[in-house]
With several copies, the nearest count.
Chain A
Amino acid sequence: MMNSNQLKQLLEAALFAHPQPLSAEQLRQLLLNGSETSLTAVKKALDELQQDYQERGVQLVQVASGYRFQTRAELGQRLAGLWQEKPPRYSQALLETLALIVYRQPITRGEIEQVRGVSVSSNIMKTLQERGWIKVVGVKEVPGRPQLYATTNEFLDDFNLKTLDELPVIDSPDEKRTAETATNERDFLND
């Protein structure tokens, strides 16, 4: 049996060494399989680690696919000096396309074009897919059976989100669709 300090050391080392996020359950399975350490103990240790790193240059954050260490966001600009390449800047067209997929998913390319009033370049869709931020989740049963796009967990991870709900709402409250959506959501919950 491992004491709580050993457990913290192990989890800390694992999350430092593994750049992809790991969930508490994954950590338990991969590192503590066969030991009697409970999921609760793992979560408690992770909480403590998060506290320990609160004021440090790296921080333990929780995103959609689990926990990971990352450099403190406020240091971004200064740290950029470490790399030759400049961080990517995305065009307004790409961001609007991404926003439509984020806020109106699942959505077809035609629907994106309808809102933006301009055809979506294949390059943009390719970039978004290559980054792993969007994926095809099905087809819409209308003539032509266009593909439906949605965001991935990788999108949430890369934008420091646990769920899409963490993004601010974009519909102004006086709009009809808000009331409609609210009703739909209620119906959904009552199902």
Chain B
Amino acid sequence: MPEQQSLPLGFVRGEPVIEKPEDLYIPPDALEVILETFSGPMDLLLYLIRRQKLDIVELPVLTITRQYVEYVEMMKELKLELAADYLVMAAMLAEIKSRLLLPKPPQEDEEEDDPRAELVRRLQEYEAIRRGAEFIEQQPQIGRDSWLSEIKTDAKDYVTVPPPEVTLEDLTLAFSRVLNTIKLQAHHQIKREQLSTRARMSQVLELLQHNHYVSFSRLFKRSEGRAGAVVSFLAILELVKESMIELSQMEPMSDIHIRLKRQHDEFESA
């Protein structure tokens, strides 16, 4: 019968500082704190092995299992939900122990399968991760070791919001959408016109903002050639049709004048 293992009473950086004598009463609260310092069954297992000052590879299954089960028994009493994962490990240890006890069938293979091998491998991997956790902990951290700048700057006052960019594609897409809407409203009849005609209509109207009368001939520029003349002519016709301008001629063959159409003017009332 191996001697009863004593429990650590407290930890400093993961290492036990006080060993509990067998007969010392531990208040349940204190024990909970102790058990909480283990981050899981692998942590507990590693602790037990290290306390024996043994290499993981030499895993003394019997002793370790006994000690392990002792801890788990106490956990079950104190923190039931904590014990579930620990029980899985206890079962694994028990399985390894029983396999070690069973007579081995004659092996064809030279290499003998040590039932401890899998657990040893897992313990080594866990130990490596523990090292990794330590390295990460030691790394200088923002908010713990260093802080970032909180200095004042007036630079944000100079930030300007640039106007949105619109591409030709945005524009044509928008127009297609409008046309689709029109198509849905069947009663709308929109006729396509040459854009140059629409633009010329705008120009004529603008010209009439500054001049009461404009001579018809002023709207035709030789430099624009025949195509330009056609555009101007179509624009004038369209403006007349839409009642935006009116034409007047004092006598046959004389110059035609264009002016903005007034709603109630003497021409209409006459």
Given A95-B136, A159-B136: A150 touches B202 (CB 8 Å cut-off): yes
Of the listed stretches B1-9, B105-113, B164-172, name the one at the interface; the rest are far from the partner chain. B164-172
Residue contact A171 to B136, C-beta cutoff 8 Å: no
Q: CB-CB < 8 A to B205: which residues of A?
A: 106, 137-138, 148, 150
Q: In this assembly, does B253 line the interface, its C-beta being within 8 Å of a C-beta of chain A? A: no
Of the listed stretches B15-23, B71-79, B96-104, B185-193, name the one at the interface; the rest are far from the partner chain. B185-193
Question: In angstroms, how far is the closest chain A Cβ from the Cβ of B191?
Answer: 7
Give A111-152 interface residues, CB cut-off 8 Å to B.
114-119, 131, 137-143, 145, 148, 150-151
CA distance A157 to B142 in the complex (A): 8
From B162, B175, B243, B262, name the one whose CB has the most chain A CB atoms within 10 angstroms.
B175
CA distance A190 to B161 in the complex (A): 37
Q: CB-CB < 8 A to B171: which residues of A?
A: 95, 98-99, 102, 159, 167
Residue contact A73 to B159, C-beta cutoff 8 Å: no
Closest to B41 in A: A117
Of the listed stretches A13-21, A34-42, A43-51, name the one at the interface; the rest are far from the partner chain. A13-21
Q: In this assembly, does A179 line the interface, its C-beta being within 8 Å of a C-beta of chain B? A: no
CA distance A185 to B171 in the complex (A): 17
CA distance A175 to B182 in the complex (A): 11
Give B183-242 interface residues, CB cut-off 8 Å to A.
183, 185, 188, 190-192, 194-196, 198-199, 201-203, 205-206, 208-209, 242
Size category of the binding interface on chain B: 35 or more
Question: In angstroms, how far is the closest chain B Cβ from the Cβ of A103?
Answer: 5
CA distance A101 to B270 in the complex (A): 36
Residue contact B195 to A137, C-beta cutoff 8 Å: no
Size category of the binding interface on chain A: 35 or more
Q: CB-CB < 8 A to A169: which residues of B?
A: 195
Residue contact A167 to B136, C-beta cutoff 8 Å: yes
Residue contact A99 to B175, C-beta cutoff 8 Å: yes
Looking at the complex, which one of B41, B42, B143, B179 makes contact with A170 (CB distance below 8 Å)? B179
**Which A residues are closer than 8 A to B by beta carbons?**
13, 15-19, 58, 68-73, 75-80, 82-85, 87-93, 95-96, 98-100, 102-106, 114-119, 131, 137-143, 145, 148, 150-151, 157-161, 163-165, 167-175, 180-181
